[in-house]
């Protein structure tokens, strides 16, 4: 079962807050990652945790667009989770 967008958003905000040692209540959906305190290395760390938690692969430079905000990261993660859920299961032994 695919988690809801609101569940993913709450998890993502907790994850981002944890990476920069902030209270999740201070991380707003529309905030720029830089304003939250996320630098490029923090983003890489967050992406690794997201990939492991949801079993997805987050492309780093998809469409030559950098992730700049919590909302952009959330949208990308939700899209990848939905794509994974919609993809047919791989055949075992094929």
Sequence ranges of the domains in the chain? 5-85
CA distance 66 to 73: 9
- The pTM is what? 0.80
CA distance 61 to 38: 17
Q: What is the pLDDT of residues 57-85, one digit of tens each?
A: 988 664 445 788 999 999 999 999 988 88
Identify the pLDDT of residue 64: 41
Give the Å distances, CA to CA, from 16 to 5, 47, 52, 64, 90.
16, 10, 15, 23, 32
CATH architecture classification, 5-85: Orthogonal Bundle (1.10)
Please list, residue by residue across 16-37, b when 16 or more beta carbons sit within 10 angstroms of its beta carbon and e when fewer do.
bbebbeeeeeebeeebebeebb
């Amino acid at each position: 079962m695919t988690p809801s967008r609101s569940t993913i958003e709450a998890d993502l905000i907790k994850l981002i807050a944890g990476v920069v040692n902030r209270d999740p209540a201070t991380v707003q959906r529309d905030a720029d990652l830089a304003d939250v305190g996320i630098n490029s290395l923090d983003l890489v760390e967050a992406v690794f945790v997201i990939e492991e938690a949801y079993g997805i692969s987050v492309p780093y430079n998809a469409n030559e667009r950098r992730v700049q905000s919590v909302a952009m990261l959330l949208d990308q993660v939700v899209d990848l989770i939905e794509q994974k859920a919609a993809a047919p299961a791989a055949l075992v032994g094929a």
